[in-house]
Amino acid sequence: MDKKDLRNIPSVSSLLETPEISEFCSSYPRSLVVSTIREVLDKLREAIGRSGTSDTDISPPAILSLVKERLLERGKVPIRRVINATGVLVHTGLGRAPLASEALEAVKDIAEGYCSLEVDLLTGKRSSRGDHVESLAVALTGAEAAMVVNNNAAAVLLALDTLARGKEVIISRSQLVEIGGSFRMPEVMAKSGAIMVEVGTTNRTYISDYRKAITLNTALILKVHSSNFRIIGFTASPELEELARMAREFEIPVMYDVGSGALFNLETYGLPYEPTVEESVRAGTDIITFSTDKLLGGPQGGLVVGKKRFIDMMKRNPLARALRIDKLTIAALEATLRLYTDKSEIAKHLPILRMLTRPLEDIEKESRRFIKELSRRSDGRITATLEDGFSAVGGGSLPGEEVPTKLVSLSTGKPSAQELSDELRQNNPPIFGRIENDRLLLDLRTVSDKADVEAILSAVLRIFGVAQ
Ligand SMILES: *Cc1c(COP(=O)(O)O)cnc(C)c1O
């Protein structure tokens, strides 16, 4: 090997000073760009070691184009399992609710072969795919009827399209929510062809505001769970029951987009109050829509429960076909809902509730062990501290309500909190924590698996350069 050839290879730092690199750094984390440059240079050294520079282009532009190619390749990583140490339980970016093992088994069983998706096994006749899920939903909520669709956004769209196309829908100004991504109530309303009639003010809306807004063209009164925000202070809004009573006088249906779909009272677990679907049914609401992958703990889906008359109309809407759910979701959702038939055992079976109700002492014990191990294995080089903090339910459940937790706080400097976070995200498996005031925080509430705790430990050790 010719040492001189190797010396001609540009250095990492000289490449980092080229203008192209700042462009790469705007699309990819800097640490990824740096490690990609190193990787490309290593490969070049290897190639030169084999055959000299004669047939290897080592000019900076050639190297940069290899770096770009490799970055593009790396950017195309497939969807994969990640470790969620953010402390956000229903994290939309990380796939919302993890499924119960009962749901996984059901999916596997159904996916492996053929299934009775649309055949009634008693009569042999054609049936509807939603039947099983829908009868469970009826049993669990006390509603007259139910319909299952792809997600809550689909449920809201279908309800508005069916009941209010070309007609007026009355909604309080305090409930014109944006859920994140692209679900914004005024826009969904516009898409469905309904005419939005806003009443009240941002903080206060009275029953009389709704009453005054009713016309011959009013098709629906819509209430929306404030999901991801909370208005506090001088506020007022009519109780659901009061709204339903008034609407009945005018024979106008009331719909409630309850968002998260709590199927039982969370207060039984010492958690903050979240409206349950059952209590919304009891209040006389005609149509209630909610997600099945938030607090409910199932796969992505949307449920509509309420009066049979309206749900039958929705089932006949041609749009329903475009919004229908597939057999894997049906299998997982049915198994998840079945767990609710024994509410006393539910927190044992459903990961989302198990994590939500995980005892603080348990999280503290695990976090202390983590900190001790980190220090032991790095000979005291890496220090982490235990901090009090909060886990968030997320996904629009319990807005503003946080659940006390214990956090592992990694003191950073070199690497910085951002670099550490970037490196953890590129670990195998990827790890997500959260950054707060230049510290990297890990909430082990959502890391229930011992092997995952171990994976975080070894990732941190590796990133800090501790040989293992
Ligand atoms: C989350 C949420 C939605 C959207 O539900 P998806 O299941 O994500 O489609 C709609 N409305 C409310 C109030 C929500 O909280």
- Count Cα neighbours of 61 within 13 Å in the Cβ-side half-sphere: 0
Our CA angle for 430, 405, 261, nearest 5°, is 80
For the cut 50, the answer to whether the pLDDT of residue 445 exceeds it is: yes
Query: How distant, in Å, are the alpha carbons of 39, 75, 90, 279, 456 from that of 78?
Result: 21, 9, 22, 42, 21
pLDDT higher than threshold 70 for residue 400: no
Mean pLDDT to the nearest integer, 376-397: 90
Mean pLDDT of 404-421: 90
pLDDT digits (tens, 9 = 90+) for 322-332: 999 999 999 99
Q: Name the residue among 290, 306, 262 with its Cα closest to residue 398.
A: 262
Residue 372, Cα to own-chain centre: how many angstroms?
32
Q: Whose CA is nearest to atom 12 of ligand 1?
A: 259
- Considering only residues 375 and 402, tell me which one the structure prediction assigns the higher pLDDT: 375
Nearest CA to ligand 1 atom 1: 259
362 or 53, which is more confident?
362
Nearest to 275 by CA among 288, 261, 287, 286: 261
Segment 10-44, tens digit of pLDDT? 888 888 888 888 878 877 888 888 999 999 999 88
Give the number of other CB atoms < 10 A from CB of residue 415: 17
Q: Can you tell me the mean pLDDT for 90-99?
A: 94
Q: Ligand 1: distance of its center to the CA of 382 in Å?
A: 41
Helices (H) and strands (E) in the chain, counts: 20, 15
Confidence of residue 52 (pLDDT cuts 50, 70, 90): low
Q: What is the pLDDT of residue 177?
A: 86
385 or 76: which carries more pLDDT confidence?
Answer: 385
Provide mean pLDDT across the span 143-163: 97
CA dist., res. 71 & res. 31, Å (int): 12
Q: Residue 297 pLDDT more than 50?
A: yes
In the chain, pLDDT over 90 holds for what percent of residues? 69
pLDDT recorded at residue 53: 59
Query: pLDDT band for position 1 (50/70/90)?
Result: very low
Ligand 1 pocket test: which of 94, 177, 183 has the largest number of ligand atoms within 8 Å of its C-beta? 183
CA distance 54 to 239: 80
Domain map (residue ranges) of the chain? 3-74, 83-94+355-463, 101-346
Cα 51 to chain center, whole Å? 51
- Which class in CATH covers the domain with range 101-346? alpha beta
- Residues written for the chain: 468
Q: Write down the pLDDT at residue 316.
A: 97
d(CA 88, CA 395): 9
Residue 260 CA, closest ligand 1 atom number: 15
Residue 160 or residue 261, greater confidence: 160
Higher pLDDT, 44 or 316: 316
| pLDDT of 4 higher than 60 | no
Average pLDDT of every residue of the chain: 91
Distance 201 CA to ligand 1 centre (A): 23
Q: Is the pLDDT of residue 397 over 70?
A: no
Which DSSP helix (H) or strand (E) runs through 299?
none
For residue 215, pLDDT beyond 90: yes
Nearest CA to ligand 1 atom 14: 259
Sign of the dihedral through C-alpha 153, 154, 157, 159 = negative
Phi, psi of 416 (to 5 degrees): -75, 165
The CATH classification of domain 83-94+355-463, taken from the options 3.20.20.370, 3.90.1150.110, 3.30.390.50, 3.40.50.720: 3.90.1150.110
CA angle 138, 144, 146 (to 5 degrees): 50
pLDDT of residue 398: 66
